[in-house]
């Protein structure tokens, strides 16, 4: 029996998703020590502290659960200039991570093809280690420069692994488990965010004495994963399809499957290789100019836009202030509760993705988020008039996050690969990762201005956006579970009314994560 979880497979997947964990940790780690880092910036820059007055932040981190809208009080011109300088450095500290991710997202697949999946992850850890060391030593030097540089380098690492890790774990997974194992990437990300929220508490590492250690903790993970990678087998698909090393591919499969009989897997790869040999590599430009690929890449990008523009980051953005108004004395713990639900329902999606269809889960998630966004908006608008509306908003937060992780959170990452055969797949994965990072960056820049202009009504806007994406999914996104590439291509042709001939590829989706129909 080859379609089972062996010790080697479990060890290898857990080793690989340590990179995904780092992605989530780097996203969330900057939030908790925000005020003490800003104070340290002022100390380094020679700017007087605010003598106990609250720090006003006009920047926004797209995943910051502790950020609250505040109205800055008038300040003298010199103090205003100094405050603007600190705000600029803090903004760079937050956004440099996303910029690094956008740049590097194009190179994950290329690096994996040049070096192999395992060696690429190993080499990438050099970036993770370098970024962690810069941030960990930031208290000893010009902290603003070291943190901005460290965050940018960490972003480069996360940009690479955001494509490399899903590709590797999908290639080593058994046929019937590829959807579930593919969702572990997202589970590791949200677990990283949750861990960063917990150890970032003031009494653990998020204080004036230890904040630099909090930022530099990722060095431990980089060293640990680097050591573990030496015991991980290379992707058998990479060995056979890219290097034509059949014997090495068989040995890798035997380790992963825990069985000497890997005939079934080898036959699948032989068929895939035959079909892939008739296909040429497709460039990013060709994805948009070739009528055969235009509809699938458009749908793939829309799925990622739906994930980022759904308002999930805005929910995190508002959560602490809502919990405060609800009378919770320690709202930071309620915010951690949101992170825990985020993680729990991502775990649920791992088991659901092979039971229900990808499209079905995405629709259920988006529909639930639409309803929750409406209740969230009503609760925020009526918060000052009816005190109990704060609890309506709180429940809406928890349910919104739950629905997000059932579908829109994990599914776009691996559904893109199911839309494309071997030729166009690398380019499609690269542009999808780039669009996800870009949308994340756009939200980080635009949301504070939207919140300032619209106040609590901002979530009505997100409700409208979610509703539009729900309709798009219903009419334009095909189900991929248990279907071959040719069947999915025919679905796109029918939905788009396209008369262009679909390229002969026939790569079965059982090679990519669809459940085997046997």
Whether the Cβ atoms of residue 138 and residue 215 lie closer than 8 Å to each other = yes
Enumerate the H helices of 278-388 as residue ranges. Answer: 284-289, 291-308, 312-325, 331-352, 358-381
Give pLDDT tens digits for 46-86: 887 654 444 443 333 333 434 343 444 455 545 556 667 88
pLDDT tens column, 339-378: 888 889 888 888 887 778 788 999 999 999 999 999 988 9
Q: Is pLDDT at 221 greater than 90 in this prediction?
A: yes
What would the two tokens of residue 35 be? 């005020």
DSSP code of residue 260 = S
Query: Is the Cα dihedral 342, 345, 351, 355 positive or negative?
Result: negative
- Integer Cα distance of 158 and 164 in angstroms: 10
Please check the confidence at residue 393 and state whether its pLDDT lies above 50.
yes
User: Tell me: the pLDDT tens digits for 147-174?
Assistant: 999 999 999 999 999 888 988 998 898 8
Place of tokens 């590791």: 188
| Residue 274 reports pLDDT greater than 70 | yes
* Chain position carrying tokens 């015991």: 231
State the burial class of residue 504 (Cβ atoms within 10 Å of its Cβ: 0-12, 13-18, 19+): exposed
- Residues 193-206 have pLDDT tens digits of 899 989 988 899 98
Q: What phi, psi does 492 have (nearest 5°)?
A: -65, -40
How many angstroms separate the CA atoms of 28 and 190, rounded? 9
- Summarize pLDDT for 105-131 with one digit per residue, the tens: 888 888 988 999 999 999 999 999 999
CA dihedral 5→6→9→15, nearest 10 degrees, is 100
> What's the rounded Cα separation, in Å, for the pair 500 and 492?
11
**Total-model pTM:** 0.80
Q: What is the pLDDT of residues 421-470, one digit of tens each?
A: 767 877 888 888 888 888 888 887 777 678 778 878 888 999 999 999 99
Q: Crossing angle of helices 178-199/411-419, nearest 10°? A: 150
User: So what's the pLDDT on residue 424?
Assistant: 82
Say if residue 275's pLDDT is above 80. no
What is the band of 499 on the pLDDT scale with cuts at 50, 70, 90?
very low
């Amino acid at each position: 029996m080859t379609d089972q979880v062996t010790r080697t497979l479990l060890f290898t997947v857990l080793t690989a998703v340590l990179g995904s964990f780092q992605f989530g940790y780097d996203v969330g780690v900057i939030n908790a020590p925000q005020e003490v880092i800003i104070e340290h910036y002022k100390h380094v820059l020679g700017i007087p502290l605010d003598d106990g007055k609250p720090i006003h932040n006009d920047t926004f981190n797209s995943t910051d659960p502790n950020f609250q809208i505040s109205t800055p009080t008038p300040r003298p011109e010199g103090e205003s200039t100094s405050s603007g300088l600190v705000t600029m450095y803090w903004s760079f500290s937050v956004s440099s991570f996303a910029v690094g991710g956008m740049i590097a997202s194009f190179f994950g697949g290329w690096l994996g093809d040049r070096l192999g999946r395992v060696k690429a992850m190993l080499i990438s850890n050099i970036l993770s280690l370098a970024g962690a060391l810069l941030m960990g030593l930031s208290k000893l030097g010009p902290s603003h420069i070291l943190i901005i540089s460290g965050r940018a380098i960490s972003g480069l690492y996360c940009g690479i692994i955001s494509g490399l890790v899903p590709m590797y774990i999908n290639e080593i997974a058994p046929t019937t488990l590829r959807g579930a194992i593919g969702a572990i990437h997202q589970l590791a990300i949200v677990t990283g965010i949750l861990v960063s929220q917990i150890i970032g508490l003031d009494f653990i590492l998020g204080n004036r004495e230890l904040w630099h250690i909090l930022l530099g903790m990722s060095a431990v993970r980089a060293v640990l994963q680097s050591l573990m990678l030496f015991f991980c087998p290379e992707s058998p698909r990479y060995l056979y399809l890219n290097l034509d090393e059949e014997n090495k591919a068989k040995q890798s499969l035997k380790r992963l499957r825990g069985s000497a009989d890997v005939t079934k897997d080898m036959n699948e790869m032989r068929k895939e290789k035959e079909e892939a040999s008739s296909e040429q590599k497709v460039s990013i430009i060709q994805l948009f100019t070739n009528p055969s690929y235009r509809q699938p890449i458009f749908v793939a990008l829309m799925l990622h836009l739906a994930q980022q523009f759904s308002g999930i980051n805005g929910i995190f953005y508002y959560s602490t202030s809502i919990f405060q108004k609800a009378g919770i004395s320690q709202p930071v713990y309620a915010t951690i509760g949101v992170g825990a639900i985020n993680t729990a329902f991502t775990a649920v999606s791992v088991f659901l993705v092979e039971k229900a269809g990808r499209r079905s889960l995405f629709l259920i998630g988006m529909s639930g988020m639409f309803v929750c966004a409406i209740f969230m908006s009503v609760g925020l608008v009526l918060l000052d008039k009816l005190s109990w509306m704060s609890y309506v908003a709180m429940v809406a937060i928890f349910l919104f996050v739950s629905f997000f992780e059932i579908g829109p959170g994990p599914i776009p990452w691996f559904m893109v690969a199911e839309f494309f055969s071997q030729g166009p797949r690398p380019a499609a994965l690269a542009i999808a990762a780039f669009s996800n990072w870009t949308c994340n960056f756009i939200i980080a820049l635009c949301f504070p201005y939207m919140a300032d202009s619209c106040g609590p009504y901002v979530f009505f806007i997100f409700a409208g956006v979610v509703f539009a994406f729900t309709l798009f999914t219903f009419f334009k996104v095909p189900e991929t579970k248990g279907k071959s590439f040719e069947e999915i291509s025919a679905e796109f042709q029918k939905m788009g009314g396209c008369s262009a001939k679909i390229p002969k590829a026939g790569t079965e989706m059982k090679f990519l994560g669809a459940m085997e129909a046997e």
